[in-house]
Structure 1
Amino acid sequence: MSLFKSILKWCCSSSNDNEEEKIQNSNKKENCHIKNPSEDTFIQGHNPFEEGSIIAAPSPKMDGSSTDLPKLKIRIVESTVVPVGTILNINPIGLENSKRNKGDFKTFVGSKLMENGEVLNDFIIDESLKGMGRQHFVIKFNTTIQKYSIADLGEGSGTFVRIDSALVLKDGYIVSFGNSHMTIHYNSIVKTLTIKFLEGPKCNEVFNLNPSNETILVGRMVDCKIRFDDNSMSRYQCSISYEESKGWILTDGIGDKKSTNGTWLFVEDDLEIFDGLVFKAGKTLFEVHIVKT
């Protein structure tokens, strides 16, 4: 999946629409073709890094050997081409045994090694026919706050992190589950939430949610307000609720029971990496551990 100007246009214009008092299901069906990322650009998402933070120039303490800086150990959990259990060791200046070997605080991963005589990626996952872009995602180390981040680079089928705890929904978020992708529009004035499906069985259907004490269930069961006939989803895929102090909250599964295949958040801009983060790109699944010494 890629996110395009057409999505941006909808997100911007939807704030001017009249939002209904109840959950509504638009019956309007349109062509659900998702364009090639080279044709358009992404909508702007949330950047957890502080505005104005920069990647500093190398210094004696930033050569990757410092023992007081965090490192990443990323294990490949599933893949069609890379052996399961493969470990990517990343220190502040980049991937150890990198193919790009730049030491620029960045680690690029994608399906293509070289282009125009230049090495594109630090690590190659040859899944170009299965959603892996030529330069799919990047992991960066921010020397100002000494933390790592991950961001999708706009090629391939997207980079997604698994939602393992309650997620406060923000305007512009893209959430994925089963064969479906939905975009979030939050009206901060009237506190309403508008969901539009971009792909899957409900492509182009729109649901308008108003603040209430009701929990909105999403899944295959008859009591789900947003109900699917899709075996790639769980009976209760996720739930959406409103809390006055936090806003709209999305939780995977229902109660303590998680969905089978997970609910995922698209990583458009830099997202801070935390210990235990699980993410996917193409058909490859990764698990991250932060090593502090």
Structure 2
Amino acid sequence: MGNAACCRNNPSFAEIASDIFNSHTNIATNQEDIRKEQSTTTKAKIDLAYINLTEWSTSERMARVQEIDYSPIALSMTNTFETRDLKITPKGIESSKRNLQDGVVYFGCKYKDLLGNYVVDVKCKLANEHFNNKFRGPHFMIYFDLTEHAYFLHDFPIGFGTFIKITEIYTLENDSLLSIGETFILVNILYKNNEDTFPKLRLKIFRTGALTEVYSFHAQEFYMCRILIGRSKKCNVVIDDGMISKIHANVVFNNQKKWIIEDGTGDECSLNGMWVFANQDFRIVENMEFKACESFFRVLSL
């Protein structure tokens, strides 16, 4: 796992969000993209004034989580300031300043909102004090799902975004947002029409201090052939980023007619890993790693 301090110089998810959203809007208006694209990056349009947390703190939910006997999560958190272990149960986390056992644990850089209410259970202090105030409120939460009887991770549209480490072959979807080193990659899967089974792959590269780059690949040309992403000049997608490997990831259009991505070369993992933005709720599993609020998290046991 990479050095936690490396995150401090990254552009925040909030800072690049408007550029990503605007570029995606332009992409969606191209005539060739007949299939309607559902934007998940609209989560990046931040409203710091209000996030509705009350729906998770109903009396019915709080009563039900008290009755559940389920194994807790042992979670490690590492950032510039500290390394700590957390224990999360179906009721939540002990000694929370919110003082509610609602089966939810909120993470953020400030305990209180602008009105002075406690809205965060676990404080993840940012290196930049200005950002601590600017991105006040819950950045993400871990909650116990009463139907699935499992723990899930949910991102809020505040701050730096929550990114899950990809450790297995991952199927790319339209609007997937990847983080490698200090670079963000927005993925678009583009169909000519509803019968098209060989969609084009478009990768839009966002990097601090650099012009946005766009790469396009046709499925027919790269069927079962690897598209290499990394620093090396022999890669199909060359990224000048000292925090990524010479060959950081590879993409293939497989025999199931899906664009898939794999960390590293397939035989060797990349230096700092590959991460995908949590644009939907992710089920938490053992050994899962994710990063948010300039902190790295690892599920030690479940």
TM-score range, shorter chain: 0.7 to 0.9
Query: Equivalents in 2 of 1:163, 1:145: separation in Å?
Result: 23
State the 1:273 CA deviation: 1.4
Gap change, CA 1:99 and 1:128, over 3 Å in 2: farther
- Counterpart in the other structure of 1:221: 232
Give the direction of change, closer, same or farther, for the CA distance of 1:287–1:56 in structure 2 (3 Å limit). Answer: farther
Give the counterpart letter for 2:124 in structure 1.
I
CA distance in 2, matches of 1:231, 1:8: 26
**What is the distance in 2 between the residues matched to 1:204 and 1:191?**
22
CA contact (8 A) 2:108 2:293 kept: no
Deviations 1:261-282 (A, max 9, x none): 1111111331221211101113
Amino acid aligned to 1:11: H
Is residue 254 of structure 1 aligned with residue 265 of structure 2? yes
Q: Which residue of 1 aligns with 2:100?
A: 102
Structure showing the higher strand proportion among its residues: 1
Indicate how the Cα distance of structure 1 residues 156 and 75 shifts in structure 2: closer, same or farther if over 3 A, else same.
same
Superposition deviation, residue 228 in structure 1: 2.3
**2:153 touches 2:284 (CA, 8 Å); kept in 1?**
yes
- 1:178-205 CA-partner distances (Å, limit 9, x unpaired): 1110111112534111111233465421
Q: Which amino acid aligns with 2:88?
A: I
* 1:179 and 2:182 matched: yes
Using CA pairs under 8 Å that are at least 6 residues apart, name the structure with larger relative contact order, 1 or 2: 1
SS at match of 2:298: strand
Q: Contact between 2:80 and 2:127, CA under 8 Å: does it hold in 1?
A: no
Question: Does the C-alpha gap of structure 1 residues 9 and 201 become closer, same or farther in structure 2, counting only changes over 3 Å?
Answer: closer
State how 1:112-191 maps to structure 2 within 5 Å: 112-115=110-113, 116-127=115-126, 129=128, 133-134=135-136, 135-188=138-191, 189=196, 190-191=198-199
Q: 1:61 to 1:155 in 2, by over 3 A?
A: closer
Q: How many aligned residue pairs are there?
A: 256
Corresponding position: 1:209 with 2:223: no
Question: 1:56·1:144 contact (CA, 8 Å) conserved in 2?
Answer: no
Verify: 1:14 aligned to 2:27, yes or no: yes
TM-score by length of 1: 0.78
SS state at 2:184 partner: strand
Q: Tell me how far 1:214 sits from its aligned partner.
A: 1.9
Seen in structure 2, the aligned counterparts of structure 1 residues 106 and 248 have a Cα distance that, compared at 3 Å, is same
- What SS does the aligned partner of 1:7 have? helix
In the alignment, which residue of structure 1 is the partner of 2:3? none
Which residue in 2 is equivalent to 1:75? 76
Q: Is the 8 A contact 1:183 1:196 kept in 2?
A: yes
The aligned counterpart of 1:194 is 202
- With over 3 angstroms needed to count, the CA separation of the structure-2 counterparts of 1:56 and 1:166, relative to structure 1, is farther
CA positional deviation for 1:60? 6.0
Q: CA deviation at 1:209?
A: 1.2
What is the identity percentage for the equivalent residue pairs of Structure 1 and Structure 2? 25
Q: What is the 5 A alignment of 1:273-284? A: 273-284=284-295
- Which secondary structure state, in structure 2, belongs to the residue aligned with residue 155 of structure 1? coil
Quickly say closer, same or farther: Cα 1:252–1:79, change in 2 above 3 A: same
Deviation, structure 1 residue 217:
0.5
Instruction: Give a deviation string over 1:81-108, Cα, whole Å, max 9, x none.
Output: 22x2x21111112112222121122110
Judged with a 3 Å threshold, the aligned counterparts in structure 2 of structure 1 residues 254 and 93 are, in CA distance, closer, same or farther, namely: same
Q: Tell me the CA shift for residue 5 of structure 1.
A: 5.6
Distance across 2 between alignment mates of 1:193 and 1:12: 17
Match of 1:237 among 222, 230, 248: 248
Judge conservation of contact 1:108–1:123 (CA < 8 Å) in 2.
yes
CA distance in 2, matches of 1:56, 1:288: 29
Contact map agreement 1:79 1:283 (CA 8 A) in 2: yes
